[in-house]
Amino acid sequence: MQLLVSLHPNFANQRNGYYYVSFADAQKKQWFLKAYHQLLDTGIELAGMDMLNHFRYSQHKVQTAVDIKNEENGRVLMKMTVFFGNEEIALAELQKMLLAGQRAVLLKDNSLGILNDEWLQQYAAIIKHGKINKDEIEVAKSMAIIEQQVTKEKEVLKPLLKEQWWQKWQQWQNEDKIIYDVPDTLKAELRPYQRKGFEWLTLLAEAGAGACLADDMGLGKTLQTICYLAYHIHHNPKSINIIVCPSSLIYNWQQELQKFAPDISSIVYHGVNRNAEALEKAECQVIITSYGTIRGDAGVLLVRDYGVAVIDESHNIKNPSAQITTVVNMLHANIRIALSGTPVVNNTFDLYSQLHFAIPGMFGSREFFKREYADAIDRDNDEDKIKALQKLTAPFILRRTKEQVAKDLPQKTEMILWCNMNREQKNLYDEIKDQVRSNIFLGIKNNGLNKSKLAVLQGMMKLRQVCNSPLLLPEEERLGAKASVKTEVLLGELLNILKEHKVLVFSQFSSMLDLLAEECNNQEIKYYHFDGRTPPSKRAEMVNAFQDKDDTTNLFLISLKAGNTGLTLTAADYVFLFDPWWNTAVEQQAIDRTHRIGQTKNVFAYKIICKDTIEEKIIQLQQKKKKLAEDLIGEDDGFIKTLSEEEIAY
């Protein structure tokens, strides 16, 4: 009797000579299934199970046998058998059921074989992510790392990694003990969190896994990676390694290598004068190239086997369908490292290509990842899927914020400088706004919203140009307006601060930077200026000069998209964003050119916004479009795709 009473908390208060539980309570947390098997385990026979409509559970618990057959090239082949009693369940059918969210198998005797929580935690991810052929399943060896908390009797892949490695992994997570010595050839003093980052890269590499280092911008992802490269080259001096990055960062990587690891020989393969024959003959340990170059010269760069392949600003390959993503994934490398301060720009699916590069095959096909994780998380905010993806990715993505690890970094203050247009500029803005509104809604009425989104984008672009300066429009469209309130406000600020401070000014319009340069010439203000047209070597030259404490040019005009990533401009302590960008993450990247490790002064960042215009609306809509702690607004067209007709009217 005591056993029966202990089966459910409601039974203790029942004195009728029998025990009753409601249908709803019997369903909760699989109570009926657990009670049924508990009674069977104690030798108690249950009568009437064949008459039940809802709880026709099999008396047999799920059993699984695993035999590891082969381990090669980061993949593991296993024989796996799943059965209830004497009935074996085909792996392919089991995979379909799990992907459909089913937890019960209809057996030949019409009873239900239940896949309980313990079994699902132990085997579901392996079966979902595996390639199945009859009774064999192949998975990425890296999946062993997600079993770090699993007890010995529940482990499946964990024995693939040596006990010594697991001990170091535990030490890395729980202790400050040094696990790997920083190479003597490294000419830098690592901060504690940077040493942790280097050790994390080294640990994963020792396990045969790649990594995605996603530290906040300015925390030294480049230095941590160079430290690992120095370690790898010390142990593999004949290996050839490759760094792929945006063209604007090529010379930054070259200079950082020369500064922190001068013993490593490197070569830049980029530009119109690049020579494939010279590259072939060069005795170098690191090749530095750009995304555009590797796409154009795939035949030259993909024929080698690399020790380590690094992709910087890895969100450049977030689109799995893009040619550059395909080419980068064709690199042959023992270890792959992805670097990005913003790995998620638009949504969860952005992670797929970067993770697929770092740990090939572990996350399945892009269709599987989208269906299993991205859609469920972004569309449905499915908590179970969020937890499942976090469990899978946690060992391979390392992200630290400035607030966590660089508390000594000076304060960053962000403010908005509100501007009111003069009468001529405001009249021009209102006239164009009325034209745009009329044309857009006529187009939506005739062609529908989806077919009108290019017109929406063009209309918004024109309004934003007027906010910056009427001079950005063709002369015949200006209605006599010339003055720009933003330019006046910016110049007023610059004249006050340039004597004592260095300043960065960002705009997405290169033509606006040209106008600002012209105004600076009129005011005899010295400046540096680069945009997408500036050769990378010239950019590096200007950055070095600006960073020099003895340099007297205190102003840098920079294109937002050409110069918002990878550059270190800590000599500046003032940042002006001349026009708002759709994606706040891009704006933060621009600000973090100066608010990063090495900065010793407080940083002041200003957005210059025209009051009662589309710019004010953009800021408000940005906040509405945030999701999963990341801004869903990506490129211009990505932002437009998320707008409803009501928001366009707004």
pLDDT at 632: 29
pLDDT at 407: 77
- Return the bridge partners of 505, or none: 557, 576
pLDDT at 575: 94
Task: Looking at the structure, tell me whether residues 39 and 179 fall in a common domain.
Answer: no
Task: Give residue for tokens 């090669």.
Answer: 72
The strand pair at 211-213 and 332-339 is best described as parallel
Task: Looking at the structure, tell me whether residues 110 and 241 fall in a common domain.
Answer: no
Which amino acid, 567?
Answer: L
Question: Distance between CA atoms of 609 and 173, rounded to whole angstroms?
Answer: 45
Determine, yes or no, domain membership for 156.
no
Task: Assess whether pLDDT exceeds 50 at residue 629.
Answer: no
User: Which among 619, 618, 614 is positioned nearest to 464, based on CA atoms?
Assistant: 614
pLDDT at 640: 47
The whole-number average pLDDT for the span 268-294 is: 92
Q: In this structure, what token pair is assigned to residue 456? A: 């929406």
pLDDT at 27: 64
Determine, yes or no, domain membership for 154.
no
Task: Looking at the structure, tell me whether residues 399 and 485 fall in a common domain.
Answer: no
Helix (H) or strand (E) holding 369: helix 366-369
Question: Distance between CA atoms of 542 and 347, rounded to whole angstroms?
Answer: 35
| Pick from 263-272, 340-349, 509-518: least confident | 340-349
CATH code, domain carrying 418: 3.40.50.300
Task: Assess whether pLDDT exceeds 60 at residue 508.
Answer: yes
pLDDT at 30: 66
pLDDT in tens, 26-76: 667 666 667 666 666 676 766 666 666 666 778 899 999 999 999 998 899
DSSP states along 308-368: EEEEESGGGG--TTSHHHHHHHT-EEEEEEEE-S-S-SSSTTHHHHHHHHHSTTTT--HHH
Task: Looking at the structure, tell me whether residues 464 and 497 fall in a common domain.
Answer: yes
Task: Give residue for tokens 């600076």.
Answer: 520
Domain end call among 373, 388, 405: 405
> What's the gap between Cα 316 and its chain centre?
10
Question: Distance between CA atoms of 401 and 394, rounded to whole angstroms?
Answer: 16
Task: Assess whether pLDDT exceeds 80 at residue 264.
Answer: yes
pLDDT in tens, 479-492: 999 999 999 999 98
Q: What long-range pairs does 324-328 form, CB within 8 A, spacing at least 24? A: 324/291, 324/294, 324/295, 325/353, 327/294, 327/295, 327/298, 327/302, 328/244, 328/291, 328/294, 328/357
Determine, yes or no, domain membership for 115.
yes
Task: Looking at the structure, tell me whether residues 180 and 269 fall in a common domain.
Answer: yes
Which amino acid, 302?
Answer: L
Question: Distance between CA atoms of 497 and 555, rounded to whole angstroms?
Answer: 10
Question: Distance between CA atoms of 214 and 219, rounded to whole angstroms?
Answer: 10
Task: Assess whether pLDDT exceeds 60 at residue 626.
Answer: no
More confident residue, 361 or 641: 361
Task: Looking at the structure, tell me whether residues 186 and 117 fall in a common domain.
Answer: no
The whole-number average pLDDT for the span 339-348 is: 82
More confident residue, 138 or 420: 138
Determine, yes or no, domain membership for 45.
yes
pLDDT at 630: 42
pLDDT at 585: 76
Question: Distance between CA atoms of 6 and 446, rounded to whole angstroms?
Answer: 70
- Give residue 176's pLDDT band: very low, low, confident or very high (50, 70, 90): confident
Q: In this structure, what token pair is assigned to residue 238? A: 């004949």
User: Which among 195, 142, 199 is positioned nearest to 170, based on CA atoms?
Assistant: 199
pLDDT at 305: 95
Question: Distance between CA atoms of 551 and 563, rounded to whole angstroms?
Answer: 20
Sign for the CA dihedral angle at 487, 491, 497, 500 comes to positive
Task: Looking at the structure, tell me whether residues 89 and 9 fall in a common domain.
Answer: no
Contact 146, 220 (CB under 8 A): no
- Give residue 1's pLDDT band: very low, low, confident or very high (50, 70, 90): low
- Give residue 94's pLDDT band: very low, low, confident or very high (50, 70, 90): very high
How many other C-beta atoms lie within 10 A of the C-beta of residue 293?
Answer: 20
Question: Distance between CA atoms of 480 and 477, rounded to whole angstroms?
Answer: 8
- Give residue 219's pLDDT band: very low, low, confident or very high (50, 70, 90): confident
Determine, yes or no, domain membership for 621.
yes
pLDDT in tens, 464-482: 999 999 999 999 999 999 9
Question: Is 568 in a helix, a strand, or coil?
Answer: coil
Max avg pLDDT among 380-389, 418-427, 510-519: 510-519
Question: Distance between CA atoms of 167 and 6, rounded to whole angstroms?
Answer: 41
pLDDT at 174: 87
The fraction of the chain above a pLDDT of 70, given in percent, is 89
Determine, yes or no, domain membership for 152.
no
Task: Assess whether pLDDT exceeds 90 at residue 190.
Answer: yes
Task: Assess whether pLDDT exceeds 90 at residue 608.
Answer: yes
Question: Distance between CA atoms of 558 and 534, rounded to whole angstroms?
Answer: 10
- Return the bridge partners of 266, or none: 286
At residue 342, φ and ψ (nearest 5 deg) are -135, 70
Question: Is 222 in a helix, a strand, or coil?
Answer: helix
Which amino acid, 8?
Answer: H
Task: Assess whether pLDDT exceeds 70 at residue 526.
Answer: yes
The strand pair at 131-133 and 75-84 is best described as unpaired
Determine, yes or no, domain membership for 149.
no
Task: Assess whether pLDDT exceeds 90 at residue 163.
Answer: yes
Max avg pLDDT among 215-229, 400-414, 509-523: 509-523
Task: Looking at the structure, tell me whether residues 290 and 351 fall in a common domain.
Answer: yes
Question: Distance between CA atoms of 221 and 215, rounded to whole angstroms?
Answer: 7
Domain end call among 375, 405, 435: 405
pLDDT at 58: 84
120 DSSP assignment: I
Question: Distance between CA atoms of 436 and 428, rounded to whole angstroms?
Answer: 12
Q: In this structure, what token pair is assigned to residue 215? A: 């530290």
Task: Assess whether pLDDT exceeds 80 at residue 582.
Answer: no
User: Which among 523, 581, 531, 532 is positioned nearest to 556, based on CA atoms?
Assistant: 531
As for how many domains the chain has, the answer is 4
- Give residue 178's pLDDT band: very low, low, confident or very high (50, 70, 90): very high
pLDDT at 54: 60
Beta-carbon contacts of 20 under 8 Å, excluding residues fewer than 6 positions away, are 10, 14
- Give residue 452's pLDDT band: very low, low, confident or very high (50, 70, 90): low
CATH code, domain carrying 318: 3.40.50.10810
Task: Assess whether pLDDT exceeds 80 at residue 566.
Answer: no
DSSP states along 604-641: EEEEEEETTSHHHHHHHHHHHTEETTEE---SHHHHHH
- Helix spans in 219-265 (H): 221-235, 250-260
pLDDT at 51: 62
Task: Looking at the structure, tell me whether residues 310 and 428 fall in a common domain.
Answer: no
Task: Looking at the structure, tell me whether residues 41 and 184 fall in a common domain.
Answer: no
Determine, yes or no, domain membership for 191.
yes
Domain end call among 385, 405, 425: 405
Domain containing 23 equals 2-51
Task: Looking at the structure, tell me whether residues 330 and 368 fall in a common domain.
Answer: yes
Task: Give residue for tokens 């200026």.
Answer: 529
Question: Distance between CA atoms of 199 and 206, rounded to whole angstroms?
Answer: 10
Beta-carbon contacts of 548 under 8 Å, excluding residues fewer than 6 positions away, are 571
Contact 606, 573 (CB under 8 A): no
Task: Looking at the structure, tell me whether residues 417 and 541 fall in a common domain.
Answer: yes
pLDDT at 635: 39
Q: What long-range pairs does 315-321 form, CB within 8 A, spacing at least 24? A: 315/340, 315/342, 315/343, 315/345, 315/350, 315/354, 316/246, 316/291, 317/291, 317/353, 317/354, 317/357, 318/345, 318/346, 318/349, 318/350, 318/352, 318/353, 318/354, 319/353, 320/352, 320/353, 320/356, 320/366
